[in-house]
C-alpha cells in the first residue's frame, strides 16, 4: 500500500487551515505533523527551506508548499462538492484580493507593532471596505461569494476573515455586514471546519502521525 502524504501544518495558521479544508473535503488520506513555528522540525526545513506551513510531502518525495497549490492538488483528486466549478477568473481575482490588500490590512490591524507606519484604525477601515464588497457579493450570489454553495474562493478566503473578525469581535459584530457575518458563522459552525481544527500534539520524529479527518 502506498504511504499517505505528509502535511506539515500549524493549527491556527490561516494558510494551513485552507489547505486542510481542501484536503479534508477531498477525502485524500493525509498524515498530520503539527508544527510549532518557533521549533520547526528539520525534516520540514529539508523538504521546504522557506520554513512556512503548510508543506505537503508526497509519497514520491515531491513537495507542494503553497497553500493554494495544495488546495488545487487535493481537489484535482476528488472534488465532491464542486469547489472548482466556479468561474476561474472570478475565483482568482477574489483570492488575489484576499491574499493581497486584505491580508495587508489584516496584518497591520492585528499586529501593528510588527509593521512600520501601521495605523490600526485606518488599516481596519481598509479591510472593512473589502469586507463590504464581499458582503454585497454574498448577498447577490445567494449565500457564498460566487454561488449559493461554497467554492474554492470561499474556503481560501474564510480563514482570513475569521482572523480579522476575531481581532475585535465586538467591533466586527457591530458592523453592517449581514450576509458576510452569516457566511462566516456558517463556516465556523460547519462539520468541515470542526474536523480540520482538531488539536494535535507537536510532532517529533518517530511520533504518531494521525490522519486528517475527512469531512463534508
Domain residue limits at 13: 6-81
Whether the per-residue pLDDT at 1 is higher than 60: the answer is no
Quote the pLDDT of residue 143.
98
Question: Is residue 20 very low, low, confident or very high in pLDDT (cuts 50, 70, 90)?
Answer: very high
Burial class (CB in 10 A: 0-12, 13-18, 19+), 134: buried
Beta bridge partners of 56: 7, 64
173 compared with 215, residue with greater pLDDT:
173
**Average model confidence (pLDDT) across the chain:** 96
**Residue 118 belongs to a domain:** yes
- Both 114 and 183 in one domain: the answer is yes
- Both 73 and 102 in one domain: the answer is no
CA distances from 212 to 10, 26, 124, 208, 215 (A): 13, 11, 34, 12, 9
pLDDT single digits (tens) 61-92: 999 999 999 999 999 999 999 999 999 999 99
Question: Is residue 3 very low, low, confident or very high in pLDDT (cuts 50, 70, 90)?
Answer: confident
Whether the per-residue pLDDT at 141 is higher than 60: the answer is yes
**Residue 200 belongs to a domain:** no
**Residue 142 belongs to a domain:** yes
Quote the pLDDT of residue 145.
98
Show the cell assigned to 12. 491556527
Quote the pLDDT of residue 2.
67
**Residue 214 belongs to a domain:** no
Quote the pLDDT of residue 215.
84
- Both 59 and 131 in one domain: the answer is no
- Both 77 and 88 in one domain: the answer is no
Quote the pLDDT of residue 213.
84
Q: What is the CATH number of the domain that holds 104?
A: 1.20.1050.10
- Both 87 and 185 in one domain: the answer is yes
Question: Is residue 57 very low, low, confident or very high in pLDDT (cuts 50, 70, 90)?
Answer: very high
d(CA 181, CA 35): 31
Q: Using only the alpha carbons of the chain, give its radius of gyration.
A: 17
d(CA 182, CA 186): 6
Question: Is residue 158 very low, low, confident or very high in pLDDT (cuts 50, 70, 90)?
Answer: very high
Quote the pLDDT of residue 186.
98
0.95 surpassed by pTM: yes
pLDDT single digits (tens) 58-69: 999 999 999 999
Quote the pLDDT of residue 104.
97
| Residue that terminates a domain, selected from 81, 112, 127 | 81
| Residue that terminates a domain, selected from 81, 99, 123 | 81
Amino acid at each position: 500500500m502506498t504511504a499517505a502524504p505528509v502535511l506539515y501544518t500549524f493549527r491556527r495558521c490561516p494558510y494551513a487551515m485552507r489547505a486542510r479544508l481542501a484536503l479534508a473535503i477531498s477525502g485524500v488520506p493525509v498524515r498530520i505533523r503539527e508544527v510549532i513555528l518557533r521549533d520547526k522540525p528539520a525534516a520540514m526545513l529539508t523538504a521546504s527551506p522557506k520554513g512556512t506551513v503548510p508543506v505537503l510531502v508526497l509519497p514520491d518525495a515531491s513537495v507542494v508548499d503553497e497553500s493554494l497549490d495544495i488546495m488545487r492538488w487535493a481537489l484535482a483528486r476528488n472534488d465532491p462538492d464542486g469547489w472548482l466549478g466556479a468561474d476561474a477568473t472570478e475565483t482568482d481575482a477574489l483570492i488575489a484580493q484576499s491574499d493581497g490588500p486584505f491580508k495587508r490590512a489584516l496584518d497591520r490591524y492585528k499586529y501593528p507593532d510588527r509593521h512600520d507606519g501601521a495605523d490600526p484604525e485606518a488599516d481596519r477601515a481598509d479591510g472593512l471596505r473589502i469586507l463590504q464588497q464581499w458582503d454585497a457579493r454574498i448577498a447577490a450570489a445567494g449565500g457564498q461569494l460566487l454561488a449559493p454553495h461554497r467554492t474554492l474562493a470561499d474556503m481560501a478566503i474564510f480563514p482570513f476573515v475569521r482572523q480579522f473578525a476575531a481581532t475585535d469581535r465586538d467591533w466586527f459584530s457591530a458592523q453592517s455586514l449581514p450576509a458576510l457575518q452569516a457566511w462566516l458563522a456558517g463556516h465556523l459552525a460547519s462539520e468541515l471546519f470542526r474536523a480540520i481544527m482538531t488539536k494535535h500534539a507537536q510532532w517529533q520524529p518517530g511520533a504518531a502521525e494521525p490522519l486528517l479527518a475527512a469531512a463534508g
